[in-house]
Structure 1
């Protein structure tokens, strides 16, 4: 960079970076990400630095005051850029102790304006410092990019922009160093557009940041939606399952019936109603813990006699509804006849000896000739008839 550097190019760069800083600030307010806040503050520092340099070129008398602002503003941009990239890549936040960079950076910014007789001389040192900072930011992102895969275009764009900025500022060192040492002027095609070259790469970096943040937000929204879906499914399961017996409940039964009705699926089979005999005396004699254990034992016994795709539903306090798809009525009755044998040696809490639980059940076929609701009514009547016989026999 020489004294003849295009003020217009620098002004365009300053305005462009100011717009980037404003966009980053608004985005950081909308999207709560620490690394985004670091980048937004960094862009603001860079915009401040460029405007300070522009005024220093326009008003040379202010250069001793404004050049340190420019140098320090660019250092702050570089450090915050590296800090944001590191936090995005690894989740490592900048600590208070790391803010000590500001002291040597401030000292260098105060000393640098007194080095050499031209700004080009001082910019050689500045370009070398900024190239190192861009390289550090590139290295931080490169670690994440290698593991992120191709689904992060913003990350790839940022890496390309940081690499381009590193090479861009590195080339200033030999080019300007040669010009200063030989005391030769740079070609206008080079010196007049350096600020615009810088702006192109910096805008590319900013676009990469925006794409990266939006991708991250979208990924987190998808994750949150998946977690909500899973939570909804768990709640649905809990709403359909009886907590005591882990069988289906009436809500689940009515939902399944409605789904079958809407889909037009026609099924046939046998429905059974099973009622536990003498549950109240068990509760009275040994407590509700024994009664609950009896209910669980009956549910477990029923499940052991039916297939995995048959439905076992807790119909009431001590009643179970069993729906056996494509099973004849006689076969369903034979299976449930074995339930008494299964429950003969039931262990109940608070009871020293095994208890022979008994049940009463009724079965009825359902299909085109008899809807499920009517079959349940028929099974209910058959169950009560059987229960009355059992009670009379015991009496």
Structure 2
């Protein structure tokens, strides 16, 4: 329940009109800037909140320094009696989390558009030496359902810091979005990119990859389990898009995309390539030029060639000559031996007919070690 004591209070030149939301240690109010008549949001945290208060102050300073079209800016911040406050633009539409839960899955086109915006914001923060450490759907605000803002830099820290634990010794972050290496290693750009991968997965499937009854269970799943392939949940997810998502969720940080922008570009390229029209049988189509990283190799007709590399025609001629020589030898022997020739038990039978003269040639029974070899080569 929101604190009623702050409603209708004027702090500086901001008049608080009503409450919007309440979190664990913070409250958000709708206010009006009496100088500009702009509607703004005021996030309030008690100064007695200890470490949370320190993080809130750090968030306000970071957001006031990060000037990017897709990072929610801090218009103002300060203290009021027992409270610390931060003023930001009011985004009426709500969060990406609300968008997914209330309106369903995003199309690949919509997901690519939002990913490009958030990846650009995260890339900018990384280039300024800051890690977000809490990328998640509820920290993405949407204007008109399309224009995205990355917000809530409460866990922001310098990339150069070589620790990832709070002073009380606990990992911080949202378990559903935490990279597996954070259990032992410091946060890094790669762990932010992993969280961005979870965000993409959620946009196209409606769920995060791993859930559990408690944070420990969820973190263990990130460490040891493989996510269900997105295409098994949403058939619209194409193979190339799925490969991009699963690469972003690799357990090994070195196997992920190196920058948020590289991830966004790969996702956009994958879904655009997968969306190319398929040629229709009997109609000649001109395929557009594909990106350099994607090669189309024409299928070659398979030709069976003997293992030795000798052309097949040579084997055929050789086999025919062997058979001819054996027939000549048999006929010659028949003249000499005459009727005294014993019967031969066949191991292979070859019947040759000719349709040109409609006459059947004599059926010859051959017993020779070469016959099976010749037949095998055919």
> TM-score category by the smaller chain?
under 0.3
**Which of structures 1 and 2 has the bigger CA Rg?**
1
More helix by share: 1
Relative to the length of structure 2, the TM-score reads 0.23
| Larger RCO (CA under 8 A, 6+ residues apart) | 1
TM-score (norm 1): 0.23
Higher strand share: 2
